[in-house]
Every structure is written in structure tokens, then in C-alpha cells.
A and B are shown apart, each in its own frame.
Chain A
């Protein structure tokens, strides 16, 4: 057996913390070596430094941390999102809650490279951006990795220089809105000011670097209150700043901002990537949660409109990646199917048609093995029985290829 040493990037981030845990001897004992050693050597790692031995990775890892370079050869392997990028794009949400908790335990944010992502990436590379925006809809059973794929896509969009319009979870404002108040600009509708302001903060955090570089300015002046005016030609940050500071107008600001984004994309200033998780939530009734009781409100939410607007195909230089989820359905526990036609309903289907459906399937055996290896490596699985081949076979069968289920099953091991 050859020594297996973690790639330099990982070590540089986590020297000390994991050093004692990840001695080569421990890795050898914990990870059953499946593929031949030659396949373990990642082509993307350079061995320029002659004094250090060649950098060999565990079979479940890839050193390639840029999703733009991910390809079939990395299929089923985990890549690590650099900590600074994670802080930029996922600070205000975007990773599933259970996974986000684990990133603290694992001291890294690693996502498995899977087929749905590669599919989207290949399509996006081939898209003619002069044509109307293409819509992708991810679908699949709960826990099979739709949100993780979207997180991967967001990272890809960030690295590829897209302006990100990312909604981590639609039902955070369609179901669990913090505050509801009647809209002034749209009589008969309701505002969710705090959620809207929070989303503006998220947008600003994700696109800070791009907004500083670009010459992105308002195309017209906006009048919100008698003394609250944004002049035409003002930097777009000013508009965002205003929305964050004056939450009362945040919903209107979101609408105007996305309209600006659309027109700027049309003019070719930048390319935009829209990522919305739980998109079908926008077509379910607006609800208010009060002391664990949900109350349906027979008025529409103003914050839903701009996201519906930007998911249309009447603009160019944009790509829209959406997911439909049973959990975002009107009746989450009685949702009969995970297919887009059922979850979107008539209204949603007509809104999105035509789109490219992408099925997020369950793990295959290789992917399950990779996930198990990763959990063993991170000491999420410590029980010797679970590390034996019979234990792994049992876990493979028990989880049924569902990543979330595997995570839950391994939690007490």
C-alpha cells in the first residue's frame, strides 16, 4: 500500500485541527482502497514542488475546487469549496440546514460531483446567450440532492462570473414570513419587508465583487416616499443600500432591482444566473405561521412577483436554474409525486413551459461508497461494524441511494 496524503489545499486550510486525526496510518486503516492506485492520482494536482512527495488523493476526493473544471472524471468524488468563497456565497443561506451543520463538524464544505450538475454545466456552456433565457428544472425525491446540486450550480455561476440571483428557499417568505404588512404600491397585496431586506443583503453579499467592477447603474429614477428618491444613473448599490435600510420599501426595491438586472442583462452588461430552490412554493397559497398554526392568506405576496418575473424567458444573457420540491408543495406530507407537472400545477407549468427537466436520481453504488468513504474519513462513521464490508452493504441497502437518509442512518454510528 502506498501512502495516501491529503492534497495541499486541504491541509493549508485545516492544518492543526485535523492533523492528528488524519495521519496516513489512520487513513489506510479506515478507507478500504477500491480503485487501483493509478486512478487515485488526480490529474489536476501539480507536483511542481520537488521536495514534497507526489500528492495523492483518497479515491472519494478531488483536488479540483473550481466547478468550471469539473468533468466526468470527477464523478462521484467530493470537492471542497474554499472557505472564503463559501463565506461569500452561502453566508446568508443556500446550503441545506442539515448539511450546513455538518460543515462545522467536518471543518470543510465538500460537495459530491454528480451527474445533474455536469449536465447543467455542459448545457450552460453550450447556450447561445443571445437567445431567450433557458430554464432548467431540477426534480427528484426529497433528500436525493436537488439543493446540493443547486449549491454546486451557485458556486459554478460565481466562478464563471455570472451575476447571481439566488433564492435559497422560497418558502422562507411564502410560509414562514417574519412580518406581513399591506403593500402601498400594490393595493390588495401584502409585503414581507424583513424577508425582502434579508434577501437584498444576500444578493449584495453574493455579487459584491461583480457590482464593484461593473458599471451597473439605475436606468431611471425611483420615487418610494416623499423624501426617498433614487436618481437615474445612481450606482445599483445605492438602490440595494436603500432597500436594506428602509425595509418598508424592500419589496418594491427587489422588484425594481430585478427589473434593472433584466434590462442590464439584455443590454449585455453581464450574464445573469437565477437559482431558485423550491420554486413551486411560489404557486402555493401565501401563508402566515403564527404559534405553529398556519393561516392561509387570500392575498398575494409582493415578493413572489419579481421572482416570477425573472423566471420568464422574455430576456436574454440569462440562465434560470430552478428546483421543484415536495417540501415546497401546498401539502408537503401528502404530495403524491415529485414530478414537475404535479408539483408546479397548471399555473406553474404554464409559467415555465418550455423548460429543461433534470432528474436528480438516487446515488448509484459507486456514489454511495464514495459518501461512506467520506463519512469514515471525516469520522462521521466511527463504528467498526459500519466500516466492514457487510456493514457497508447493509447501509447501502438501507439508505436506498438517498443521501439524506444515509446521513441520518450514519449519524449514530
Chain B
């Protein structure tokens, strides 16, 4: 139901949207056939107008000359006229290009020895890649052959010169539409809450959306979702509105809408591989794992049950690290799983600095503990971000710079 709240013409307006939208909403529209029918309608309408403009429209100069039956010529501004001419040009161009494309496709099919009738755009891509092999890294820079509908930017205005999108003149139509829809839902949520209060009840917990299992998309993901580039301050505004809706006690009613702008945090635990548990001769269980962080490599062996002893590179206790933060790093997984002072840990670590070493130990420890704890404990570790390798590494030094970014001290010559 929520999906239907979005305007259909949003996708018509995606004239410059060259491929199938990645948005799930849009995909649904495609599946429903709505999008196709509407866009087809639109295209046919445009074509119709360009070919049979005599009887339908009265704004083109050509039409004005030919069709004398129209009583009075509607005044059109020069800019509008220029635009309409461009639209016409575009339509004509599109017809030529389409013919060229279909001719080229047939030609290509013949070269490749395929049946032109069943030569799909996929086959076109394949044969272009075969005939014109390119070593260029950028995919956009490689030769390609695509139908003109995909490569030529479509109009954002209808034949009457009115923009398709109702917020076109804001300059960021889809973003403002998101804000608009969000605020509409906040108002609806307020009303729902008021209804509950009027009955003398308090909203139940289930009415609020579960925000733990998902998190907000970042700006680049959001740009892909709404198919529009977003300014930082605009993004902040939008996030404020969305956050307000998400934190509302009735946010559960708008879960579908909110999930368009959120991504799941939990991954499927069953897919993850944890180190194997072995039984030592003394009857204790032990888990061993080796991980990396930056340039440090750590091998951690955890034995359960234990007393919370640490041995790092043969040195008892955590004082191998003189840095307090590094020691906190190492302890964190035990605190999350509640296994503090319940298991013994032996560590061999080499390479890197103290932060890299403690990070490597923390990652290995987390995976070992995940093998020892139950599903609930694993989720805790996962939510704490401990079951993912930290991919950050030192940024390389650049020439002309003192370090990765820092410039040399400027000296007056």
C-alpha cells in the first residue's frame, strides 16, 4: 500500500534515467507493467504529436501554417517555441537513430552469423566486445552500441511545455518529494497517535519500527535510490525528517516507506564460517583463529573454561600494550559476549603497530568467541561490528606532499 503512495509520474520523469531503475519501488512498477504502459503511452503520444501534429496541436509554426481551421493562435513565448522545436528535433532524431540502430543490429547479426530476428541487445554487447576488444579500464570508455532510447536524454517536459514532475522547479525534485512524503507520513503518524491517546491508551511497543536490524543509507546510496545527486546540507535535512519519522512511536506503520532509505545491518549468520571448536587433552575446549588488521597478523587461541588469563607473545597480562586504548580494544569482545574472566587467551601477534595489533587480536578473538557462544551472542558481536574485518589501511604518501595529504610548510622565497 505504501508503495502506491509514490507518484507514478516520478518514473516518467526519469527521462535521463538510462537504465532500469535500481530502486525496489521502481522495479515493482516495472513488474506491475504500470511503468511500461505509461512510458509507452508517453512515447507514442510524443511520436503521435510529432507526426500527426496537424490535428492535435496548434502550437508549432508549421502546424499554424498548414492548419488554418484553428480560430485563434495561442500566444507562445520565444523560449517555449524554441523548446518545442527542440522536442520535435529530438523526436525526429530518435526515429533516425532507431532506424540506424536496427540496421546496425541486423548488420552485426549477419557478421556474427546469427539470426537478425532473434538478435537481442545482450548479443549486441557480446559481439561488440568480441569485434572491438578494448583494454581500457573504464567501462564507460569502451565501445558500445545501445538503442537510442537508452543513450539519448529524454525530455523532462510534456508536449504542453509543463514539467512532468510537480517539484521540477525546485532543482532537486526527487529529494524534495522524499521530504514531502516523509512529512506527510509524520502528520499521519501524529494523527494515529492522537487517536490512541484519545482512547486513553498508550501506544504499544510493536507500533514502533525495529531500528536495530537496519541503518540509514549513506549519501551515495541515497543518491542511487532517488536517482539524483544530493547536496550535503539537503541530505542532512532529509535525514532529520526521516529520523523524526523513524523515532515516532507509530513508525511501524511506515516501515515499508522507511526501508526504502535504510539498509539491513544483520547478515545471514548461517552463511558465516566460524573457526572450529576442538577439545584439548585436558578436557577444555579451544578455538584458534588467525586474522589481519593493517599489517599486523594475530593468532588467537581461546580456551574455555578459564579464569580470564591473557598471554600476549609470551608476556602475561595485557601490559604487552602500554597503550590503554589498545588494551580496551582487546577486551571489548569479551565484554560484549559476557565472557570476561571466563576464558583464557593466548595470542601470538606480529607486524604493525599497537593499534593494528590490537585490532587484529580483537577480530580474531571475536570470531573465536562467536564460535563458542550461542546465536544471540553472535548477533551481539555482529551488531557491535566485530565480525567484519576492518579494511582500512594506511594511505600512501603522495609526491609533492609531506604525507598522504599534508602539504609542506610554505616558505616565502
A interface list, Cβ under 8 A from B: 141, 362, 390, 393-394, 396-398, 400-402, 405, 409
Query: Can you identify 5 A-B contacts, CB atoms within 8 angstroms?
Result: A390-B340, A397-B308, A398-B318, A398-B324, A400-B316
CB distance from A309 to the nearest CB of B (A): 37
Tell me whether chain A's interface is mostly helix, strand or loop, or mixed: helix
- Whether B328 is near chain A, meaning CB under 8 Å from some CB there, is yes
**A409 touching B341, Cβ below 8 Å:** no
Tell me whether chain B's interface is mostly helix, strand or loop, or mixed: mixed
Cα of A316 to Cα of B316 in the assembled complex, Å: 40
**A398 touching B340, Cβ below 8 Å:** no
- For B82, what are the chain A residues with a Cβ–Cβ distance below 8 Å? none
**B319 touching A405, Cβ below 8 Å:** yes
Cα of A397 to Cα of B340 in the assembled complex, Å: 9
Cα of A106 to Cα of B334 in the assembled complex, Å: 34
CB nearest to A401 among chain B residues: B317
- Whether B310 is near chain A, meaning CB under 8 Å from some CB there, is yes
**A393 touching B316, Cβ below 8 Å:** no
**B341 touching A393, Cβ below 8 Å:** yes
CB distance from B340 to the nearest CB of A (A): 5
- Whether B47 is near chain A, meaning CB under 8 Å from some CB there, is no
- For A396, what are the chain B residues with a Cβ–Cβ distance below 8 Å? 308, 341
CB nearest to B338 among chain A residues: A390
CB distance from A342 to the nearest CB of B (A): 16
- Whether B335 is near chain A, meaning CB under 8 Å from some CB there, is yes
- Whether B331 is near chain A, meaning CB under 8 Å from some CB there, is yes
- For A409, what are the chain B residues with a Cβ–Cβ distance below 8 Å? 324
- For A393, what are the chain B residues with a Cβ–Cβ distance below 8 Å? 308, 340-341
**A400 touching B340, Cβ below 8 Å:** no
Cα of A362 to Cα of B317 in the assembled complex, Å: 10
CB nearest to A408 among chain B residues: B324
**A398 touching B335, Cβ below 8 Å:** no
How many of chain B's residues touch chain A, expressed as a range?
A: 10 to 19
CB nearest to A393 among chain B residues: B340
Contact flags (1/0) for B299-324 with A, using CB distance below 8 Å?
00000000010100000111100001
**B319 touching A394, Cβ below 8 Å:** no
- For B310, what are the chain A residues with a Cβ–Cβ distance below 8 Å? 397, 400
CB distance from A76 to the nearest CB of B (A): 17
- Whether B327 is near chain A, meaning CB under 8 Å from some CB there, is yes
CB nearest to A141 among chain B residues: B319
The 8 A-B pairs with the shortest beta carbon distances in the complex, nearest first, are A400-B317, A400-B319, A393-B340, A400-B318, A398-B327, A393-B341, A397-B331, A401-B317
CB distance from A394 to the nearest CB of B (A): 6
Other than the known A362-B317, A398-B331, what 18 A-B pairs have Cβ atoms closer than 8 Å? Answer: A390-B335, A390-B340, A393-B308, A394-B335, A396-B308, A396-B341, A397-B310, A397-B318, A397-B327, A397-B331, A398-B318, A398-B328, A400-B310, A400-B316, A402-B317, A402-B319, A405-B319, A409-B324
CB distance from B268 to the nearest CB of A (A): 31
CB distance from A402 to the nearest CB of B (A): 6
Contact flags (1/0) for B9-35 with A, using CB distance below 8 Å?
000000000000000000000000000
- For A402, what are the chain B residues with a Cβ–Cβ distance below 8 Å? 317, 319
- For B327, what are the chain A residues with a Cβ–Cβ distance below 8 Å? 397-398
- For B316, what are the chain A residues with a Cβ–Cβ distance below 8 Å? 362, 400
**A394 touching B317, Cβ below 8 Å:** no
CB nearest to B330 among chain A residues: A397
Cα of A413 to Cα of B15 in the assembled complex, Å: 61
CB distance from A78 to the nearest CB of B (A): 23
CB nearest to B328 among chain A residues: A398
CB distance from B107 to the nearest CB of A (A): 74
CB distance from B204 to the nearest CB of A (A): 32
CB distance from A279 to the nearest CB of B (A): 24
CB distance from A362 to the nearest CB of B (A): 7
Tell me which of A141, A394, A405 contacts B331 (CB under 8 A): A394
CB distance from B170 to the nearest CB of A (A): 49
- For A141, what are the chain B residues with a Cβ–Cβ distance below 8 Å? 319
- For A400, what are the chain B residues with a Cβ–Cβ distance below 8 Å? 310, 316-319
Cα of A394 to Cα of B335 in the assembled complex, Å: 8
- For B324, what are the chain A residues with a Cβ–Cβ distance below 8 Å? 398, 409
Cα of A401 to Cα of B316 in the assembled complex, Å: 10
- For B335, what are the chain A residues with a Cβ–Cβ distance below 8 Å? 390, 394
Cα of A392 to Cα of B47 in the assembled complex, Å: 78
Cα of A267 to Cα of B327 in the assembled complex, Å: 56
Cα of A394 to Cα of B336 in the assembled complex, Å: 12
CB distance from B322 to the nearest CB of A (A): 9
CB nearest to B322 among chain A residues: A405
B322-355 residues with Cβ-Cβ distance < 8 A to A are: 324, 327-328, 331, 334-335, 340-341
**B319 touching A397, Cβ below 8 Å:** no
CB distance from B318 to the nearest CB of A (A): 5
- For A401, what are the chain B residues with a Cβ–Cβ distance below 8 Å? 317
Cα of A18 to Cα of B248 in the assembled complex, Å: 50
Give the most central of B317, B331, B334: most A CB within 10 Å: B317
CB distance from B333 to the nearest CB of A (A): 12
Tell me which of A362, A394, A405 contacts B340 (CB under 8 A): A394
CB nearest to B317 among chain A residues: A400
Cα of A390 to Cα of B340 in the assembled complex, Å: 8
- For B334, what are the chain A residues with a Cβ–Cβ distance below 8 Å? 397
CB nearest to A142 among chain B residues: B319
- For A398, what are the chain B residues with a Cβ–Cβ distance below 8 Å? 318, 324, 327-328, 331
Cα of A398 to Cα of B335 in the assembled complex, Å: 12
CB distance from A142 to the nearest CB of B (A): 10
- For A397, what are the chain B residues with a Cβ–Cβ distance below 8 Å? 308, 310, 318, 327, 331, 334, 340-341
CB nearest to A362 among chain B residues: B317
CB nearest to A394 among chain B residues: B331
CB nearest to B334 among chain A residues: A397
Cα of A297 to Cα of B60 in the assembled complex, Å: 103
Cα of A362 to Cα of B331 in the assembled complex, Å: 19
Contact flags (1/0) for B347-368 with A, using CB distance below 8 Å?
0000000000000000000000
CB distance from A346 to the nearest CB of B (A): 26
CB distance from A294 to the nearest CB of B (A): 23
Cα of A409 to Cα of B331 in the assembled complex, Å: 15
- For A390, what are the chain B residues with a Cβ–Cβ distance below 8 Å? 335, 340
